[in-house]
Amino acid sequence: MRDGVRRLVKTYGRDCPSRTVIDVLANKWALYVLGALRRFNRPLRFNELRRLLDGVTQKMLTQTLRTLERDGLVTRTLYPAVPVRVEYTLTPLGVEAGRLTSAIAEWSVAHAHQIHASRADYDGREQ
């Protein structure tokens, strides 16, 4: 087996470390957080992100930001003030991941009408 094929097969294996990374990046809210931070290209506060990401709960946004911080994609900066101010920015690794999520977003916008038409066709066949 060629090395490239061997690596690809390993990627699909349950023990491959890349699977945990893909799990994070495949998370809907992680995609949106990375996209928002990349789009605005400046630090964003928690409530700014929450307002931008329509439908995200406080708990889910907190979990997502913690995961992205743990994985080195987002930096959390705490400013000692009253009340405490916290800002989130992309790390260099997060900027790279943000390019990927932006590409997915652009593709989604460009092809949403086709996907919705296919769904309607499929759902019509079911009846």
Name the domain count of the chain.
1
Q: Which helix (H) or strand (E) holds 44?
A: strand 44-45
Query: Could you count the other beta carbons within 10 Å of the beta carbon of residue 48?
Result: 15
Q: What is the pLDDT of residues 11-38, one digit of tens each?
A: 777 788 888 888 888 899 999 999 999 9
Cα 78 from Cα 33, distance rounded (Å): 18
Give this prediction's pTM.
0.83
Q: What is the pLDDT of residues 87-124, one digit of tens each?
A: 999 999 999 998 888 888 899 999 999 999 999 999 99
Domain that includes residue 71, residue range? 3-126
Q: What is the CATH number of the domain that holds 76?
A: 1.10.10.10
76 SS3 class: strand
